[in-house]
Structure formats: structure tokens, C-alpha cells
Homo-oligomer: A and B are copies of this chain.
Amino acid sequence: MLSSLTQFETPALVISEEVALRNIERFQRHCDDKNLKLRPHIKTHKSLHFARAQIAAGASGITCQRVGEAEVMADGGIDDIFITFNILGESKLGRLRSLAERIKKLSVVADNDVVVDGLSKVFETVSKPLKILVECDTGGRRCGVQTPEGAIALAKRISELPGIVFGGLMTYPAVGGQSGVVGFMTHAKAGLEKCGIACPVVSSGGTPDMWDAQTHGNTVTEYRVGTYVFNDRSLIERKTCDWRDCAGRVVATVVSVPTKTRVIIDAGSKILTSDLLGLDGYGHIVGHREARIVELNEEHGIIQCDQNNNFKVGEQLIIIPNHICVVTNMLDNAWLARKDGNMCLLPIDARGKLN
């Protein structure tokens, strides 16, 4: 497949469809076996092509982080969307309401009263109430109510207000934080039951721990993963995947060899990004373990290598990025390498939908 890369202009991102579809199918099978619903996060591919492939493989719906991403997915026919972000502000809430009116299932999260009250106010005149899951901080230290008691209190408020219904609990756990999820959620669910509040969904997620995903005795019902579709160098480091599971590769051209140990490529931070994720260097150069991308300028990548590397101006290099989710987000289009060897443009439909 990669032998035909020399035809197009660099820098470019090439996605192997075969590898991506295999990643989708394999984790779907894992979730099916564990009796977990799978709700992939589109943040990694931001593409209708792969969102549809995830649904076709058996996903129960998709996850988005922004209203704008959800709008793009809805335009493309995806009709079960979960937005895992606190939504605030009149204009954005208005767009959320329009979105709810045109797709089959929409749910969102909230972790505080201000967000819940804002959602209620906008949805109280809508015939179909909006489903809200309470976001819980089970150790990830990002958003989320801090205690099971906090989750119960917010669920009560959601149940009491017009226009909205309590849909369950959601968490984005710390890496390796499954026991934190189970402890928090078991406690919260017991409390909700005491109050007579049904909790139909407990949604957990995260690609690094995906192979440990399970219901934990009917505590967790749903799992969300994003990066698993393409994988990247950070997930190889964490042993979540192998090199052959990486579907996304940046192709760069050597544009200058100023010295025997310094080589310049045309991929800089405007495609590889500055995300290190704790790794050494800005990506892995396939077939050149000894060469390191030590620095990125906006349009230049600076490689430090052996005297023996003998890189040549004009040569193309294949790079597995540290963090694939932010790389796709730099591009309007990637190249999709199809199984039959053909390449076609893959639109990154929801790129740059920040709102």
C-alpha cells in the first residue's frame, strides 16, 4: 500500500482503510462479548465515512465533544449522538435545540447546576425532553461532580426540572482508573435507587484501557473510545496496540540535508503538532528507529540521525504521529488508502468545529 505514496504532495496524512476497519471491528467484538454498548467518539477521525463504518459494525451511536461536530454528523445521517461536554450560552443552546429536533436520539452531559438550569430553560418548550447524563470525576481530574452524593443531588435536580430527563452517569476515567469508576458508580447507583431515580446508562471510556473494558457486574453499560480507530505512537507506548494497528501515517519529504546528522523534512508543527504525550521526539519514522524528530518549527521538522543514515533530498519518509487525534484536526482532507490499492480523498468533515 505505502509503495504508491510517492505520487502525491507532502506533507500528507494517509489512512489505511483496512487497518482502521479492522480496529473498529475488533473492539466492537470485544464490547459485544462483554455485553457492553460501544459508542465511539468521533474526535479522532471527524469523518462521516468512519462514523458510518462504526455504526455499521454495531456501535449504538456516536460521541461528540462539540455541538458543531454533532451538527456535521447529523447532516450526514447519524441519528444517535451523545455530546460529552457542558453546553453553555444562548447561541449554542439554540443550536442544540435545533439539533435535538432533527435527530432521533440526542443526549448531553452536565456536572453543575448552571448547565442543567440552562438546558432546562431552553428545552422546556420542546415536546421531547433532553436526556442529560451527570458527568462524574472518578479520578480523571477533569470535569465532573466530585462525589457520588454530588451526582445524586444533580440527578435529582435534573429529574425535577422541566424539559430535561436524567439519562444516567458518565465518566472519563484516569488511565488505569477502572477501580475508581466501579467504586464511584456503584455508590452513586445505590443512592439513586434509594431516591427512586432510574439510572439506565453508566458510560465509561478511554482508548488506553479499552481492552479491560467490561460491565464490572452490570455497573458499566457503555464504553466510549476515540483514538482506537487509527491508533498512534502513544498507544504503542502504552501497549494498547501494535505498530501494524496504526492506520494513520504522515508522509513527509526530506527537503534539506544541511549536515550528515541533521535532516530537514517538510512536516512541522502545523501537521505533526507539538503534542509529545510524554514521548521522546515528535513521531516515529518508520524503518528508522535511530533517527529522532527532535524539533518542530511550523513547517519544518528537524531530524537528528546517524552519519550512516544517508537520507537524500527528495526521499519520502513515513511517520507514525505521537497523537493522531490532533493531526487529523489540522487537515481538511486526508488520503484514504483503500484495500484495492487506490487512494482517494477522505474529507475530515468536522475539522475545526470548535463550537
A residues at B contact (CB < 8 Å): 8-12, 43, 65-66, 85-86, 88-89, 91-92, 111-112, 114-115, 137, 141-146, 253, 255-259, 262, 264, 266, 269-271, 273-276, 297-300, 302, 312-314, 325-326, 329-332, 352, 354-355
- Beyond contacts A114-B313, A146-B259: 17 other A-B pairs, Cβ-Cβ < 8 A, are A9-B91, A11-B354, A85-B255, A86-B255, A88-B255, A114-B314, A141-B302, A142-B264, A142-B297, A142-B302, A144-B258, A145-B258, A269-B326, A270-B329, A274-B274, A330-B352, A332-B352
Partner of A264, one of B8, B143, B274: B143
- A86 — nearest CB in chain B belongs to which residue? B255
Q: Nearest B residue to A142 by beta-carbon distance? A: B300
Asked if A298 and B314 make an inter-chain contact with CB atoms under 8 angstroms apart, the answer reads no
Docked complex Cα distance between A143 and B313 (Å): 12
Residues in B neighbouring A10, C-beta threshold 8 A: 89, 355
Residue of B nearest to A112 (CB): B313
Partner of A91, one of B8, B258, B270: B8
Chain B contacts of A145 at CB under 8 A? 258
Nearest B residue to A65, CB-CB = B299
Contact B111 A298 (CB under 8 A): no
Known contacts A65-B298, A298-B43, A299-B85: A270-B354 contact under CB 8 Å: yes
> Which chain B residues border A330 with CB–CB below 8 Å?
329, 352, 354
Closest B residue to A146 by beta carbon equals B258
Give the residue name and chain of the B residue nearest to A257 (CB).
Answer: B112
Q: How far is the CA of A203 from the CA of B299 in the complex (A)?
A: 19
Q: How far is the CB of A264 from chain B (nearest CB, A)?
A: 5
